[in-house]
């Protein structure tokens, strides 16, 4: 495995790979790798001839009061994990390399960024859009792999590559969880063991909604209430939002119909740590 630190070198390597007729599978990450990331590495490894991952804590997707400074950075362990999972190259640019002095270009993704997570984290998805556009241009992947864990982000990415004609196929892979149900996240590092256990209420509330849907509930607010009530059983959890919406548009219709594909999105604080999770379900 090779570590690449500059845009120029990464672009040269990608060009050589393409010239030789090989395909590139790409997994963008912010590091502090866990099994969620590694499942994406394995998918890239299986699908493409060459597997490339990036590790870049992207400042443009963090709000002013968010955790950019204290975001976990564990490069050594990350490199070892990437080697174990047979990644060929990891691209680890500096902030200066990605946003040199005079950097001036931003993307403005509409609609899908203007709901749910986009309201709570203004500018976040446009920051994601900028860094992914750059990374796609630098790495030139045939395939890119994203986790369902960040569900709205997967919709944003699909919109971005469609609108800007970026020739990459997007794959969305299932959320990897701890045995107790908690979705794996780099931010789980902020939690104590007790908090990690208490935070399982998030997954449990999604399971409760799933059961309600199986019993025939189609009303959005009823589903929101079921999830909210369950979350509120855990006194240390503070709900940021519970959103139940059509899966492809995130439209919050009042009454769902049979066979509608919906998503339940949750953001909640455990102490100061903001956690998100979601579940895709079909109305019966
Ligand atoms: P991040 O490092 O948080 O930017 O995440 C990099 C990629 O890993 C994104 O596509 C995430 O959706 C994905 N990811 C993060 N956590 C998980 C998880 N628990 N299961 C599957 N994918 C994940």
Rounded to two decimals, the pTM is 0.98
Span from the CA of 34 to the centroid of ligand 1 (angstroms):
9
Token output for 163:
């609108």
pLDDT at 216: 97
CA of 216 to the centre of ligand 1 (A): 32
Fold of 186-276: 3.30.1300
To the query of whether residue 34 is one of the catalytic residues in this protein, the response is no
The pLDDT value given to residue 22: 98
How far, in Å, is the centroid of ligand 1 from the Cα of 155? Answer: 14
Q: Which atom of ligand 1 is nearest to 30's Cα?
A: 2
> Which protein residue's CA is at the shortest distance from atom 18 of ligand 1?
36
Q: Which atom of ligand 1 is nearest to the CA of 176?
A: 20
Q: Which of 34, 37, 85, 124 is catalytic?
A: 37
SS3 labels along the chain: CEEECCHHHHHHHHHHHHHCCCCEEEEEECCCCCHHHHHHHHHHHHHCCEEEEEECCCHHHCCCCCCCCCCCCCHHHHHHHHHHCCCCEEECCCHHHHCCCCCCCCCCCCHHHCCCHHHHCCCHHHHHHHHHHHHHHHHCCCEEEEEHHHHHHHHHHHHHHHHCCCCCEEEEECCCECCCCCECCHHHHHCCHHHHHHCCHHHHHHHHHHHHHHCCCCEHHHHHHHHHHHHHCCCCEEEEEEEEEECCCCCCCCECCCCCEEEEEEEEEECCEEEEEEEEEECC
CATH ID of 2-173, from 3.40.50.620, 3.40.1080.10, 3.90.1150.10, 3.40.50.2300: 3.40.50.620
Which residues of the chain register pLDDT less than 50? none
Nearest residue to 52 via CA among 33, 29, 32, 72: 29
Q: pLDDT at position 71, please?
A: 98
Domain ranges of the chain: 2-173, 186-276
Q: Do domains 2-173 and 186-276 have the same CATH topology?
A: no
pLDDT tens digits, 14-49? 999 999 999 999 999 999 999 999 999 999 999 999
Whole-angstrom Cα distance, residue 107 to residue 44? 27
- Please give the pLDDT value at position 140: 98
Q: Which of 29, 33, 43, 280 to mutate to test the pocket of ligand 1 (most atoms within 8 A of CB)?
A: 29
């Amino acid at each position: 495995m090779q570590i690449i630190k500059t845009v120029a070198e990464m672009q040269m390597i990608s060009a050589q790979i393409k010239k030789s007729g090989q395909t590139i599978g790409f997994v963008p990450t912010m590091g502090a790798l866990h099994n969620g990331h590694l499942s994406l590495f394995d998918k890239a490894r299986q699908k493409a001839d060459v597997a490339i991952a990036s590790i870049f804590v992207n400042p443009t997707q963090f709000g002013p009061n968010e955790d950019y400074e204290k975001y976990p950075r564990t490069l050594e362990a990350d490199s070892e994990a990437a080697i174990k999972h047979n990644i060929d190259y990891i691209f680890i640019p500096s902030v200066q390399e990605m946003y040199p002095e005079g950097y001036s270009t931003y993307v403005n993704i509409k609609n899908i960024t203007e709901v749910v997570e986009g309201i709570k984290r203004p500018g976040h998805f446009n920051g994601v859009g900028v860094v992914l556009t750059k990374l796609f241009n630098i790495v030139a992947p045939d395939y890119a792999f994203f986790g369902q864990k960040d569900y709205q982000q997967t919709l944003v990415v699909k919109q971005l590559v469609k609108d800007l004609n970026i020739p990459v196929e997007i794959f969305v892979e299932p959320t990897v969880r701890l045995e107790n149900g908690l979705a794996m996240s780099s931010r789980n590092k902020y939690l104590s063991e007790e908090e990690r256990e208490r935070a399982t209420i998030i997954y449990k509330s999604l399971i409760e909604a799933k059961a309600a849907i199986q019993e025939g509930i189609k009303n959005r607010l009823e589903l929101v209430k079921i999830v909210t009530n369950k979350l509120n059983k855990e006194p240390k959890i503070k709900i940021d939002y519970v959103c139940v919406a059509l899966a492809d548009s995130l439209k919050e219709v009042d009454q769902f119909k049979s066979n509608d594909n919906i998503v339940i999105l949750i953001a909640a604080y455990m102490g100061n740590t903001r956690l998100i999770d979601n579940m895709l379900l079909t109305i019966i």
